[in-house]
């Protein structure tokens, strides 16, 4: 695969919709792939074109080595996504995907002078909030698995499937390395709205940690708490998509921010 083919394959579009007025790029949680967003296309209005991002190391990018640091990952995504930013767009990221989408917006602002019209953060504490948990990505396998269960950050269906876990362990270790080696650098707030969603039963991300995202924008800000644990993105999918659809329809007439 050439470098151009690699970059092109990072951006997926399960149901191309050239008539859509806005694109929604989605970033998965640790260990997740673009497939977790495939059903969304059936519930979003025709004005929104769904574009899940395939992180290297999983899904259609399974043969590509996973990244273990956030900065190079974001640089690669920025190169791949830039040609698709020719119409208004928004980012949605759940858990790890929330951090990836946030740092991607900051890089796009710096490198290309362009920003999304909206940023949706789901199940992820604000980037400036210190991580109080000890790192786990280098733990022996059994201890690593125990920590994954304790964090409730990996679907039970995956944890209980030994064959799947052997496949996903390198990806999960890499993703946790991305998160655990991240160092927040202060920059001016973003100039577009941020909407944050959290799970009412999520034991890992508190309401106060979600509320802290308000420091990252000088525009409008809102928090929505939905039923479910860390994976409310699945269990409360309908409510989540209603929030996204309603919000994006309000801003679909805007042009990408300068």
Looking at the annotation, which residues are catalytic?
95
CA dist., res. 234 & res. 224, Å (int):
15
Cross-strand bridge partners of residue 214:
none
**Whether 47 contacts 87, CB under 8 Å:** no
CA dist., res. 113 & res. 16, Å (int):
26
**Whether 107 contacts 70, CB under 8 Å:** no
Going by the DSSP 8-state scheme, the letter that residue 171 receives in this structure is H
Residue 194 phi/psi, 5-degree rounding, is -125, 130
**DSSP states along 37-63:** GGGGGGTS-TTEEEEEB--TTSGGGTT
252: left (phi over 0), alpha (psi -120 to 50) or beta: alpha
CA dist., res. 139 & res. 124, Å (int):
23
**Whether 257 contacts 116, CB under 8 Å:** yes
């Amino acid at each position: 695969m050439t470098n151009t083919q690699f970059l092109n394959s990072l951006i997926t579009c399960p149901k191309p919709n050239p008539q859509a007025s806005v694109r929604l790029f989605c970033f998965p949680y640790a260990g997740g792939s673009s497939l977790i967003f495939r059903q969304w296309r059936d519930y979003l209005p025709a004005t929104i074109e769904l574009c899940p991002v395939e992180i290297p190391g999983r899904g259609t990018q399974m043969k590509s080595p996973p990244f273990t640091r956030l900065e190079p990952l974001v640089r690669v995504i920025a190169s791949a996504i830039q040609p698709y930013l020719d119409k208004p767009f928004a980012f949605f990221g759940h858990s790890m995907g929330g951090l990836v989408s946030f740092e991607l917006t900051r890089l796009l602002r710096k490198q290309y002078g362009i920003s999304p019209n909206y940023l949706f953060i789901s199940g992820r504490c604000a980037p400036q909030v210190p991580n109080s948990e000890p790192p786990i990505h280098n733990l022996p396998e059994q201890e690593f698995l125990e920590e994954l269960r304790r964090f409730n950050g990996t679907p039970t269906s995956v944890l209980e499937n030994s064959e799947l876990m052997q496949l996903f362990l390198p990806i999960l270790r890499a993703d946790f390395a991305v998160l655990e080696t991240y160092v927040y650098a202060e920059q001016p707030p973003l100039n577009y709205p941020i909407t944050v969603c959290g799970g009412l039963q999520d034991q890992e991300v508190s309401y106060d940690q979600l509320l802290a995202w308000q420091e990252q924008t000088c525009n409008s800000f809102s928090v929505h708490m939905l039923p479910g644990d860390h994976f409310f993105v699945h269990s409360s999918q309908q409510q989540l998509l209603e929030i996204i659809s309603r919000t994006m329809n309000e801003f679909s007439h805007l042009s990408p921010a300068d």
